[in-house]
Amino acid sequence: MSEHHHDHDHDHEHEHDDRPGEHGAPLTDVQLRVRALESLLVDKGLVDPKALDTLIDTYETKVGPRNGARVVAKAWVDPAFKQRLLTDSTAAIAELGFIGRQGEDMVVLENTPKVHNVVVCTLCSCYPWPVLGLPPVWYKSGPYRARTVIEPRGVLREFGVNLADDVEVRVWDSTAELRYLVLPERPKGSEGMTEDQLAELVTRDAMIGVAQVKAPAR
């Protein structure tokens, strides 16, 4: 947001404000407010601090885009799984053990040389947690939510995806309780790779639809 964004020394020891227009200013009000609200809820017996720690650990270290990458890699090497994944996505993903909140009703969208799918949530920030974890800031930001539906090719170009004019772009706005995962195209040059090696290539952004998967340079 700030023009000096890229000049900033991103020292993670230092808590900096990430609010637009106030970059760099100390942000004690919201820190204090969250702390006081948590204390209030704990004092009233409404939340258990140990449960909070478990929730944070779950979504910070256990659930994330590596799960989705396993799904994609398996679909690339196992045609029967891919078929199940495209026809009953929730059940196929559950075969790998990835189930839970914000992934109860999954739809997998296959990218092909002629169709490129990209996912957004214009109204809030709906995102398939069990396979991708919690969404990155840009996915929840004004620019992405505002622009993806009206100028998808411009947004994709910013992410380095330049599509030919004859490629159809399908934008999926997650306005209800379906959660979408993009099945990217398997990159050329990855023919000899194992499922585990393929999973390493798959990025979060490719599964949102703002990137393509690249084969490793040899």
Partner 1 sequence: MNGMHDLGGMHGFGPVNPERDEPVFHHEWERRAFAINLAAGFLGRWNIDMSRFAREHMPPGEYLTTTYYEHWLYGLERLLVQRGLVSARELQTLRAQGPGPLKALGPEDLPKALRNRRAARMEDHLATPRFKAGDRVRTKNLNPTTHTRLPRYARDKVGVIDRDHGVFIFADEHAVSGQKVPQHCYAVRFEGRELWGPDAGPRDAVYVDLFEPYLEPAS
Looking only at residues 122 through 181 of this chain, which bind partner 1 when binding is defined by CB under 8 A? Answer: 122-125, 133-134, 136-138, 140-147, 149-150, 152-153, 155, 158-159, 165-178
Structure tokens at 217: 């340079």
The residue assigned the tokens 């258990």 is 48
Catalytic residue among 89, 126, 141, 190: 126
Min CB(53)–partner 1 separation in Å? 8
Catalytic residue among 39, 124, 174, 190: 124
Nearest to 150 by CA among 122, 192, 189, 191: 122
Cβ partners under 8 Å of residue 50, min gap 6? none
Rule CB under 8 A: say whether 190 interacts with partner 1.
no
SS3 state at 54: helix
Tell me whether residue 24 or residue 124 sits nearer to partner 1 (CB atom).
124
| Other CB atoms within 10 A of residue 176 CB | 9
31-39, 67-75, 184-192, 194-202 -> range binding partner 1 (CB under 8 A): 31-39
Q: Contacting partner 1 (CB under 8 A), which of 4, 44, 188, 218?
A: 44
126 carries an active-site annotation: yes
- The continuous run of DSSP H or E covering 132 comes out as helix 129-132
30-38, 68-76, 182-190, 191-199 -> range binding partner 1 (CB under 8 A): 30-38
SS3 state at 161: coil
